Amino acid sequence: MCLPSLFSLLDALLKMPFDAIFDQINCLEPIKKGLLDPASPCHRCFDLVQCFEKNAFDTMEAYHQAFPDIDFDGIHDAALLWANTVAR
Number of domains in the chain: 1
Blockwise average pLDDT, block size 10, the chain, 88 residues:
74 86 87 89 82 82 86 80 76
Name the pTM for this structure: 0.64
DSSP 1-52: -HHHHHHTTHHHHHTS-HHHHHHHS---HHHHHHHH-TTSHHHHHHHHHHHH
The pLDDT score that the predictor gives to residue 77 is 82
Q: What is the C-alpha to C-alpha distance for residues 72 and 78, in angstroms, rounded to an integer? A: 10
The pLDDT score that the predictor gives to residue 2 is 67
Residue 27's domain spans which residues?
2-87
